[in-house]
Amino acid sequence: MNNLKEEFLKWIDFKPNDYHPLVWIRGEPKIGKNVYIGFFTIVNAKESEVIIGDDCDIAPFVSINCADSHKRCIGLQDHIDRKPIILENNVFVGSQSVIKPGAHIGHHSVIAAGTIVDPVKIPPYSLITGNPMKIREGYYKEKLAEKNSN
């Protein structure tokens, strides 16, 4: 198994990581404590900043990608746009979600499976769903208040 892993790592430019052998990390993202990152997830921080706070849970098949090359691809510019991405503490990201460059997700928020997160600042305790995304601000603040009042 180690020989296969070593051979695989020769062919890609991703560094080994502490999460899963099939998690691909590019660049130098800042990843907090007690973070889970599921297999077949990519975290691309190449030439930009990606911050993932403490106690985050990122499901399999998620794309957190600071780069957007569509304007370069169609000839509108000569460079790739890169913007920071921030996930504050206690953020859950559901499977098959995409977090676009420039997104800032507030603490204690949930990104539902399959959501495309646009480059906006999302308040804490939000539920974010769909494509186009919909933000339910304070959704989990209310749920936590209900739980604590019982």
Task: Give the Cα separation of 104 and 119 in Å (integer).
Answer: 7
Given the residues 70, 79, 104, 107, the one annotated as active site = 70
Question: Which residue, 90, 23, 83, 73, is CA-closest to 47?
Answer: 83
Residue 20 bears catalytic tag: no
Question: Which residue, 115, 88, 116, 119, is CA-closest to 103?
Answer: 119
The CA distances from residue 28 to 5, 69, 71, 143, 144, in Å, are 21, 20, 25, 35, 34
Q: Hey, which residues are catalytic here?
A: 70
